[in-house]
Structure 1
Amino acid sequence: MAQVKKKKKKQTEAQRLAHRDAVIAHADNKFVAELTEKMDAFIYTKDFYIALYKQLEKGMTAIEAYESLGFDTKTLGKDCAQSAAKRARQ
């Protein structure tokens, strides 16, 4: 049976701005190398991916591991944690 992909809802302007504000608030985290030009996403350090991978290997979920490194999934969203974990496992 073929998988059905969920359609992502388009973000409202208010949601986009709230996410950007959350990203900016986390910019001083030691695992953030810099912000993207639009200031709506992180460029993580290599140490971040190593630390995240180690947390995942200990049996933490992507969300638990992401939060243990100082990122708040309530403001940033769980997708950030899932995406970062996917990249850390590569």
Structure 2
Amino acid sequence: MSNYCEPLLAALKDCILHSDCVMKKGRLPSECIKNHTDELPEECRSLRLATFECKRGMLDMRKRFRGNSASATAVKIKQESASAPTTELPRTTSSV
């Protein structure tokens, strides 16, 4: 797989690792994807579908001239992750 689907795959991995299926129930991410997709959040399910569509689009010869439509999704996810506000902890002053 080329770098074309990498942003989608990275977002899917991050979503699965932070889901309740992995964090609270202690299952493996691969087990959550294969056997417990109904327990995953909607965001993870849509990323899974987008990753599948991206991989399939790479093999589809009809998309050779038109381009893979998953690129728009990958760019959107990359922009959202880059522009996501980081939460900082409030700084407290300590009196010594």
TM over 0.5: no
TM-score interval, smaller chain? under 0.3
TM-score by length of 1: 0.26
The structure with the largest strand share of the pair is 1
The structure with the largest helix share of the pair is 2
TM-score by length of 2: 0.25
The structure with the largest alpha-carbon Rg is: 2
